[in-house]
């Protein structure tokens, strides 16, 4: 049975007994690891215990100078436990207090018979823990003890602790509930004149076992969690306890465990707000299913079964949970690893974990939370019950996963111990294969990390690889080790892992072979690697590829790498990441990164192949046709590249072609014949000028002239940094391609494209004319000139922008006329005004432009002739009825001494016909408008008409003057210039 508490904590020195008749019969030392405040325990003749503190009254740092009684604990009294009683009167000096608080008080026999009795009291840690967990905030802690009287035959001679209590951890003390599974039961021997009595301290689970069917008092004293933890410790240990005991304990664990429920401000709570919205799976003990208490949110109190399992597990591994898995010994500058825990401890821990796992698996149908998934909980009575059971399910499954992880981890450590014992080097024979980074991590690895973190899993796999490598190096087979790993710790060594290890074995064997035998092993290794490519770690993959390259098995290395990259992203997420703009926050970026780091290995292999070929050609002087070895090297390279070209992964091809660009071998892209090269070029051409040029070249090479023209057209109008001359060249080339033979069904589309290209080419030529004019303009500000030149080279402008932003503001009237012609503009007033400004500007600027003895009128003449030919005599842009009086007026005003007929010669050279000019001059003579109103001006006009008619007689045989010249006109001319110049004309007209 469980005795009642002997005393409560809370007495102080002021409550020491006022009775001065007691004496101290024994003084016991309190070790520093037991208490930081108390140093001695004095046992009085009345059975009281006085707790004494040694202190320095003047300095807190100096040695003790005085002693102070801190507390007195009286013998138990049912009436008043805080007052002195006579129950332990005449306590003898043989009384003792043993760590961690076992009190043995020797008093004369209570029966009156000769001999002694002994009063025994011991702290009840389980009761104290339960009190702390249920006490209200701010309540004083309570110190509970269990006590009883034992009658001893004879007189006690000595009391000794033969099996001391060993604290299992460096923190805390006297928590027997936590230590009960890892610390041996303390034993005390009492020697009397009649014999020896041995007393053994029973731990809570042993008390639970002895209570039989009545565990109510245990539940009331220790609470639900402790009851479930102790029940589980018995129910799962079928090899230690009888079937009846195990069945009853199992019944207690399942039924007394209760149910999870909503509760505010409770410990070990599952937060609905932070966890029910996510589907979190973890193998870690400190799972997110159990979180610290939060405030102002609805919470769930998990069942006693969950708390019991967690408590029991924590007690099993408590002694080494935070310890390092491996010890490190420095030997000179090197470090040697050894096991940080003995084999016996690991075996006992593994046994307990196995028993727990088997029990939970066997009884999962009876345990809420293990019997099914959360989807089976939707038919609950209410939302609160549903949420509670969901939380219970997730939490219990996390614990089950943790137990499995711990069980397999201990099995692996036991295997390491067995394997390291086979050599004199010990564990170092295995860890010596670890890379430096992994050795550094292994040095600080704790059991907590090893059991429950990603780091532990990664290092375990590293160690397995090292173990396999050692066996292969020693000439052994991986089969024996891998079979043991699969039997004991399948999570650390799956079926795919076994395949990988077998592939490594074949690869190692290939090193020692030659010829076909080597190639066979390499092929077998490659086949196995590809079979397990989805589970191969990057470091292992890299090492395997290095071995393939070392053995010059380049095609196999590339094949394996591409297979592994595909397995990294079986959902093909990376291509979507690229197509959507490569947002760095995109969740798919990790798939792209995983692929690319493998692709980088492929490119390194290709570099090795290319270098081998180039080096061989440089070092070999034999003709290629006679060199068999060069043929072999070239074949290896071709086979390796063929593997790359044969890949069906679009994302690889894009990265592959990017690599070509990085190597500055862009032209090689034109030699590629894959379904992916054209999409790659089309996508890249949008942002890369070099690729855009490559794209139209690719189309041209494959005879697709229409597509080439389209690319050139788009390229000419793009925002790439292209000079205007290059854009015009692209348009001209595009127009040429539109003239190439094409299928009939494309004729309409090509015709439309050709029209668009021609229109843009016309505008581009005008833009180029502006650019050339601007460059040659001597009066322009240099800074502004450069800015405008840059603007004109930046893109193709539309015709309106060229007119409004450049030609008109800059006063480039020739170009304005070209724009009028291009746009088919027919505004006579604007066109005539433009000619007026042009002639006026040309006369003003002629003095700067004429470098010889030429006259301004000659410059004007050349200008009009050139424009007439350039404008192709478009009547609306080159209006003769306006230009003729304009030039004649210019001659009157600025060139009265110029040779007769220069205006006529100018207009005829520009392309005007005699008939048109004669008609215009006839009208001018008849109207005699300004500036021909005075006689001198009119005479110049009349002389030019006479010059025109005489020239017409000489050069134009088809036109009959009598049809265009009237008698009245001849009379007017004769009155103005005289009869002599008109002699030939009159003869023609009179006929």
**What pLDDT digit, counting tens, does each position of 758-803 carry?**
999 999 999 999 999 888 887 788 889 899 999 998 899 999 999 9
Q: Which residues contact 440 (CB under 8 A, 6 or more apart)?
A: none
Confidence at residue 469, expressed as pLDDT on a 0 to 100 scale: 82
Query: Residues 456-475: what's their mean pLDDT?
Result: 85
DSSP code for 423: S
Classify residue 837: in a domain, yes or no: no
Whether 731 contacts 764, CB under 8 Å:
yes
Q: Of the given ranges (34-38, 84-88, 154-158, 648-652), which has the lowest mean pLDDT?
A: 84-88
Q: How far is CA 217 from CA 78, 330, 352, in A?
A: 19, 55, 27
Residue 13, pLDDT > 90, answer: no
Residue 274 confidence (pLDDT)? 36
**pLDDT, tens digit (0-9, with 9 covering 90-100), for 947-967:** 888 888 888 777 777 677 777
Tell me which long-range contacts 814-817 makes (C-beta under 8 A, separation of at least 24): 814/769, 814/773, 814/838, 814/863, 814/867, 815/766, 815/769, 815/770, 815/773, 817/867, 817/871, 817/877, 817/878
Please check the confidence at residue 20 and state whether its pLDDT lies above 80.
Answer: no
Question: What is the per-residue pLDDT for 835?
Answer: 92
- Decide if pLDDT at 609 tops 60: yes
In a domain, 877, yes or no: no
Asked if pLDDT for residue 623 goes beyond 90, the answer is: no
In a domain, 699, yes or no: no
- Which CATH number does the domain housing residue 666 bear? 1.25.40.450
Q: Looking at the 3D structure of the chain, how many domains does it have?
A: 3
CA nearest to 91, candidates 32, 50, 137: 50
pLDDT at 284 over 50: no
Q: For residues 624 and 245, which has the higher predicted lDDT (pLDDT)?
A: 245
Q: Minimal CA–CA distance to 841: which of 875, 882, 885, 807? A: 807
Question: Does 591 reside within a domain?
Answer: yes
What's the angle, vertex CA 637, arms to CA 635 and CA 640, rounded to 5? 110
Which of 684, 702, 721 is at the close of a domain?
684
- Higher-pLDDT residue of 385 and 411 is 411
Q: Where does the pLDDT of residue 97 fall: very low under 50, low under 70, confident under 90, or very high at 90 and above?
A: very high
pLDDT at residue 272 tops 70: no
Q: What is the pLDDT of residue 177?
A: 85
Rounded (to 5) percent helix, strand, coil in the chain: 60, 10, 35
**Over the stretch 807-844, which tens digit does the pLDDT of each residue have?**
999 888 989 999 998 888 888 899 999 999 999 988 88
Residue 797, CB half-sphere, CA atoms under 13 Å: how many?
24
Confidence at residue 295, expressed as pLDDT on a 0 to 100 scale: 36
Which of 111-115, 283-287, 767-771 is predicted least confidently?
283-287
Please say if the pLDDT value at position 288 is more than 60. no
Looking at the DSSP bridge assignments, the partners of residue 301 are 261, 269
CA–CA dist 863, 40 (Å, integer): 124
pLDDT at site 383: 74
Q: Is the pLDDT reported for residue 281 higher than 70?
A: no
Q: Are 337 and 328 in contact (CB under 8 A)?
A: yes
Q: Residues 711-719: what's their mean pLDDT?
A: 93
Among residues 184, 202, 220, the one where a domain terminates is: 202
36 located within any domain: yes
Question: What is the dihedral sign for C-alpha 169, 172, 173, 177?
Answer: negative
User: Got the DSSP string for 513-532?
Assistant: --HHHHHHHHHHHHHHHHHT
Kindly report which listed range (478-492, 511-525, 780-794) carries the lowest average pLDDT score: 478-492
Query: How does DSSP classify residue 5?
Result: B
Is a pLDDT exceeding 90 seen at residue 677?
yes
Q: Are 763 and 795 in contact (CB under 8 A)?
A: no
- The answer on pLDDT for 279 being more than 50 is no
Listed range (66-75, 276-285, 408-417) with the worst mean pLDDT = 276-285
Element (H, E) at 512: none
Of the residues 649, 668, 684, the one at which a domain ends:
684
Instruction: Measure the CA–CA gap between 324 and 932, rounded to whole angstroms.
Output: 116
| 524 vs 560: CA distance, rounded Å | 12
What's the pLDDT at 630?
Answer: 79
- Give dist(CA 130, CA 5) in Å, integer: 14
Reference 597, options 616, 621, 569, 633; nearest CA is 569
Q: Which of 164-178, 428-442, 466-480, 726-740 is the least confident region?
A: 164-178
> What mean pLDDT do residues 926-939 have?
84
Burial class (CB in 10 A: 0-12, 13-18, 19+), 745: exposed
Pick the closest to residue 442 from 755, 433, 248 (CA basis).
Answer: 433
pLDDT digit string (tens) for 345-399?
999 999 999 999 999 999 999 998 887 655 555 555 577 788 888 888 999 999 9
In a domain, 289, yes or no: no
The CB density around residue 896, as the number of other CB atoms within 10 Å, is: 10
pLDDT of residue 8: 40
Contact 526, 559 (CB under 8 A): yes
Q: How many CB atoms lie within 10 A of CB 378?
A: 9
Assigned token pair, 351: 């046994």
Task: Taking residues 437-457, report their average pLDDT.
Answer: 92
Neighbours of 724 (CB within 10 A): 22
Q: Span 656-666, mean pLDDT?
A: 91
| Residue 706 in domain | no
- With residue 364 as reference, give the H or E element that holds it: none
Cα separation, 872 vs 878, whole angstroms: 8
Q: What would the two tokens of residue 807 be?
A: 């030609």
Q: Identify the pLDDT of residue 90.
A: 85
User: What's the chain's average pLDDT?
Assistant: 84
* Residue 338: predicted pLDDT: 92
Q: What's the pLDDT at 626? A: 53
Task: State the pLDDT at residue 285.
Answer: 33
State mean pLDDT over 404-412: 93
- Place 19 in a pLDDT band, splitting at 50, 70 and 90: low
Q: Which domain holds residue 166?
A: 13-202
- pLDDT above 70 covers a percentage of the chain that reads 89
- Over residues 491-497, mean pLDDT: 80
Neighbours of 195 (CB within 10 A): 10
Q: Are 561 and 598 in contact (CB under 8 A)?
A: yes
Question: Per the domain annotation, does 106 fall within a domain?
Answer: yes
pLDDT for 271: 43
């Amino acid at each position: 049975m469980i005795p009642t508490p002997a005393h409560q904590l809370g007495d102080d020195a002021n409550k020491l007994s006022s009775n001065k008749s007691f004496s101290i019969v024994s003084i016991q030392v309190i070790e520093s690891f037991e208490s930081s405040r108390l140093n001695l325990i004095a046992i009085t003749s009345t059975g009281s215990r006085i707790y004494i503190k040694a202190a320095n009254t003047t300095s807190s740092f100096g040695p003790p100078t005085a002693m102070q009684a801190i507390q007195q604990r009286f013998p138990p009294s049912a009436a008043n436990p805080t007052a002195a009683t006579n129950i332990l009167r005449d306590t003898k000096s043989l009384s003792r207090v043993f760590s961690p608080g076992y009190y043995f008080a020797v008093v004369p026999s209570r029966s009156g018979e000769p001999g002694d009795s002994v009063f025994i009291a011991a702290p009840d840690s389980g009761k104290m823990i339960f009190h702390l967990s249920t006490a209200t905030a701010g309540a004083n802690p309570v110190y509970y003890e269990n006590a009883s009287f034992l009658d001893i035959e004879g007189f006690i001679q000595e009391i000794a602790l033969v099996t001391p209590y060993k604290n299992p951890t460096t923190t805390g003390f006297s928590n027997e509930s936590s230590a009960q599974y890892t610390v041996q039961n303390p034993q005390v021997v009492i020697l009397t004149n009649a014999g020896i009595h041995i007393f053994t301290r029973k731990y809570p689970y042993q008390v639970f076992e002895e209570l039989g069917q009545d565990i109510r008092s245990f539940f009331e004293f220790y609470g639900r969690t402790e009851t479930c933890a102790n029940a589980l410790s018995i129910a799962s240990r079928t090899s230690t306890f009888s079937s009846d005991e195990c069945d009853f304990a199992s019944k207690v664990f399942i039924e007394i465990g209760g149910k999870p429920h909503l509760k505010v401000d409770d410990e070990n709570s599952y937060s609905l707000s932070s966890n029910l919205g996510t589907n979190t799976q973890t193998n870690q003990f400190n799972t997110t299913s159990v979180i610290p208490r939060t405030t102002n949110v609805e919470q769930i109190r998990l069942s006693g079964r969950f708390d019991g399992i967690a408590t029991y597990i924590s007690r099993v591994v408590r002694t080494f949970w935070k310890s390092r898995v491996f010890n490190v010994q420095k030997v000179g500058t090197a470090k040697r690893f050894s096991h940080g825990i003995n084999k016996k401890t690991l075996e006992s821990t593994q046994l307990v974990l196995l028993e727990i796992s088997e029990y939970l698996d066997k009884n999962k149908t009876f345990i809420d939370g293990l019997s099914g998934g959360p989807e089976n909980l939707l038919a609950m009575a209410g939302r609160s019950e549903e949420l509670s059971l969901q939380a219970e399910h997730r939490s219990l499954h996390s614990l089950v996963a943790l137990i499995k992880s711990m069980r397999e981890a201990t099995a692996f450590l036991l295997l390491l111990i067995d394997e390291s014992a086979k050599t004199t080097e010990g564990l170092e024979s295995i860890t010596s294969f670890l890379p430096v980074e992994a050795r550094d991590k292994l040095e600080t690895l704790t059991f907590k990390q090893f059991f429950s973190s990603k780091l532990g899993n990664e290092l375990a796999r590293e160690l397995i690889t090292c173990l396999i490598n050692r066996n292969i190096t020693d000439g052994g087979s991986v089969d024996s080790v891998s079979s043991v790993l699969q039997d004991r710790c399948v999570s650390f060594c799956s079926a795919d892992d076994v395949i990988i290890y077998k592939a490594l074995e074949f690869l190692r064997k290939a090193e020692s072979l030659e010829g076909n035998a080597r190639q066979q092993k390499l092929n077998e290794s490659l086949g196995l690697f590809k079979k397990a490519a989805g589970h191969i770690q990057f470091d292992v993959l890299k090492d395997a590829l290095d071995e393939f390259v070392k053995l010059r098995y380049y095609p196999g290395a590339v094949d394996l790498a591409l297979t592994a990259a595909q397995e990294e992203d079986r959902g093909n997420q990376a291509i979507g990441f690229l197509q959507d703009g490569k947002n760095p926050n995109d969740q798919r970026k990790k798939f792209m990164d995983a692929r690319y780091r493998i692709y980088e290995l492929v490119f390194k292999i290709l570099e090795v192949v290319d270098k081998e070929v180039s080096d061989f050609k440089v070092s070999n002087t034999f003709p290629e046709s006679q060199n068999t070895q060069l043929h072999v090297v070239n074949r290896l390279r071709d086979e390796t590249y063929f593997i790359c070209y044969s890949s069906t992964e679009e994302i690889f091809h894009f990265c592959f072609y990017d690599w070509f660009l990085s190597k500055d071998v862009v032209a090689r892209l034109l030699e590629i014949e894959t379904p992916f090269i054209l999409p790659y070029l089309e996508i890249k051409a949008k942002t890369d000028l070099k690729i855009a040029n490559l794209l139209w070249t690719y189309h041209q090479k494959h005879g697709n002239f229409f597509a080439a023209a389209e690319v050139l057209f788009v390229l000419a109008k793009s925002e790439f940094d292209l000079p205007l001359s290059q854009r015009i060249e692209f348009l001209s080339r595009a127009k040429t391609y539109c003239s190439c033979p094409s299928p009939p069904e494309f004729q309409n589309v090509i015709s439309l494209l050709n029209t668009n290209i021609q229109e843009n080419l016309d505008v581009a030529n005008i833009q180029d004319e502006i650019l050339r004019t601007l460059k040659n303009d001597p009066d322009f500000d240099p800074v502004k000139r450069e800015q405008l030149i840059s603007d004109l080279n930046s893109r193709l402008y539309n015709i309106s922008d060229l007119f409004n932003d450049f030609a008109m503001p800059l006063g480039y009237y020739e170009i304005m006329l070209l724009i009028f012609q291009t746009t088919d503009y027919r505004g006579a007033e604007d066109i005539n005004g433009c000619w007026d400004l042009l002639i006026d500007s040309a006369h003003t600027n002629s003095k700067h432009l004429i470098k010889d003895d030429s006259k301004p009128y000659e410059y004007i003449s050349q200008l009009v002739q050139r424009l007439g030919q350039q404008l192709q005599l478009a009547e609306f842009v080159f209006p003769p009825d306006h230009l003729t009086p304009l030039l004649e007026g210019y001659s009157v005003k600025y060139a009265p001494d110029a040779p007769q007929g220069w205006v006529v010669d100018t207009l005829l050279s520009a392309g005007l016909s005699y008939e048109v000019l004669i008609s215009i001059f006839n009208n001018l003579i008849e109207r005699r408008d300004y500036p021909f109103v005075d006689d001198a001006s009119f005479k110049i006009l009349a002389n030019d008409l006479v010059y025109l008619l005489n020239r017409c007689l000489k050069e134009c045989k088809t036109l009959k003057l009598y049809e265009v010249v009237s008698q009245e006109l001849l009379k007017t001319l004769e009155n103005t210039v005289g009869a002599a110049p008109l002699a030939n004309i009159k003869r023609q007209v009179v006929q």
